[in-house]
């Protein structure tokens, strides 16, 4: 299976802030820290924990630019 | 002015695909290529062109994870 | 690789409207037609065409409800 | 009133995970379970509960494809 | 039908930039101009044109803050 | 630094609902109340509180229209 999603940034989970419905996951990448907010159920289903190698994934229409 | 947006990835514009209403902008970052789709008017207003140093900006709720 | 993204709806591509930068792809699912707007480059990279079996993928934070 | 939003999937609420600020709502549709994250205030304002008939609503630019 | 979407800003269409797949619609509101990018098919289906009274609609998770 | 993001609506914070991972922030603007869901860490980092003058910021691709 291939995805239409254009952005996949490899990194390592630095920290997870657990919440009742959503969690905040900080991922250390070569471009700096990337923060993701995903459901707590996904954190448990993927068994995410600090130190895991993951990809941060973002649809191109969600990316803005600053100059 | 400070922003609540958590993710700012520094890079350099590699290529712009010009469209009638939206453009695709590819940004070379230390974490790999990041693709952004923004309005053509923003490309013109910011005078974006290949080689420009920019930040790719993404709200945390837009970031998914793969493991 | 597993994804944190919660929604994956199986369907068949009914029609693609080709654009310069983005395309509109209509997918026939058991829940009705689902429309996706993705980059033209992704349409070409995945070689998407009418009749293809695909999954429509949506992050949970992007889903609203009506009652 | 008509909306520009393209995707409206009919279903029935299967479960609500209540949170302090946002809730997770699972909707059973003919295309499978769809998960939505909306504010707790919206859950209360619409008086959403298991068994309710609802529509899951998604803007086309938020839909990615996998093949 | 009621929606979970929190933000509805009343305004009048000032200008539409027509594109092959998506259009840019500028809406004049009491809070200033709001720009929307929607599919060209939605523009035609709703028969949108300059001068129309419309609501700009935004899910709360898509709104960032600057201070 | 300039941003590609098209929508910036000036207002004053009316209320903040604090959550473990995300908060809901209501902003009073000339176009009515605007609700934003951002991370609790951003609320703390920007030291947001009722009465603060802020801008609600939205990417154009996140704005739908109703007529």
Tell me the per-residue pLDDT of E7-29, one tens digit each, with 9 for 90 and over. Answer: 999 999 999 999 999 999 999 99
Q: List, in order, residues 6 or more apart from B23 with CB less than 8 Å away.
A: B16, B17, B37, B38, B39, B40, B43, C21
Asked whether this complex has an ipTM greater than 0.95, the answer is yes
Cβ–Cβ gap F41/A62 under 8 Å: no
The model's confidence at residue B2, banded by pLDDT at 50, 70 and 90, is very high
Q: Establish if B27 belongs to a structural domain.
A: yes
Residue F1 lies inside a defined structural domain of this protein: no
- Predicted TM-score (pTM) of the model is 0.98
On whether the CB atoms of residues D9 and D55 are closer than 8 A, the answer is: yes
Asked if the structure places residue D2 within a domain, the reply is no
- Containing domain of residue B22, as a range? 7-59
CA distances from B15 to A5, B25, B45, C19 (A): 18, 6, 17, 18
Nearest to E42 among D4, D37, D38 (CB): D4
Compute the distance between CA of residue D59 and CA of residue A62 in angstroms, rounded to an integer.
13
State the total domains in chain C.
Answer: 1
Query: In this structure, is the dihedral angle defined by the CA atoms of residues B49, E20, C40 and A38, taken in order, positive or negative?
Result: positive
Q: Give how far Cα B61 sits from Cα of A64, C3, E66, Å.
A: 14, 15, 16
Per-residue pLDDT of chain C (67 residues; tens, 9 = 90+): 999 999 999 999 999 999 999 999 999 999 999 999 999 999 999 999 999 999 999 999 999 999 9
Rounded mean pLDDT of D22-38?
98
How many CA atoms, within 13 angstroms, populate the side-chain half-sphere of residue E9? Answer: 33
| CATH at residue A22 | 2.40.50.100
Strand partners, F64: E57
**pLDDT band at residue D7 using 50, 70 and 90 as cut-offs:** very high
**Chain B contacts in chain A segment 7-66 (CB below 8 A):** 7-11, 24-25, 27, 29-32, 34-38, 42, 46, 48, 52-66
Side-chain-side CA neighbours of residue E19 (13 Å): 26
Strands (E), chain E: 7-17, 22-29, 32-39, 53-58, 64-66
* B52 is a domain residue: yes
Q: Cβ separation of A42 and C1 shorter than 8 Å? A: no
List chain F pLDDT tens, one digit each, 67 residues: 999 999 999 999 999 999 999 999 999 999 999 999 999 999 999 999 999 999 999 999 999 999 9
Q: Is residue B2 part of a domain?
A: no
Asked, for residue D66, whether it belongs to a domain, the answer is no
Q: Which of C2, C5, C46 sits opposite A2 (nearest CB)?
A: C46
| Residue A66 falls inside a structural domain | no
Domain presence at residue C5:
no
CA distance E49 to chain D (A): 13
CA distance B12 to chain A (A): 10
Structure tokens at A48: 């995410």
CB contact under 8 A, A3 and C57: yes
């Amino acid at each position: 299976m291939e995805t239409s999603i254009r952005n996949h940034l490899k990194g390592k989970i630095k920290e997870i802030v657990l919440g009742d419905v959503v969690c905040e996951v900080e991922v250390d990448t070569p471009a700096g820290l990337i923060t993701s907010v995903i459901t707590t159920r996904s954190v448990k289903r993927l068994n995410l924990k600090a130190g895991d190698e993951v990809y941060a994934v973002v649809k191109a229409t969600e990316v803005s630019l600053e100059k």
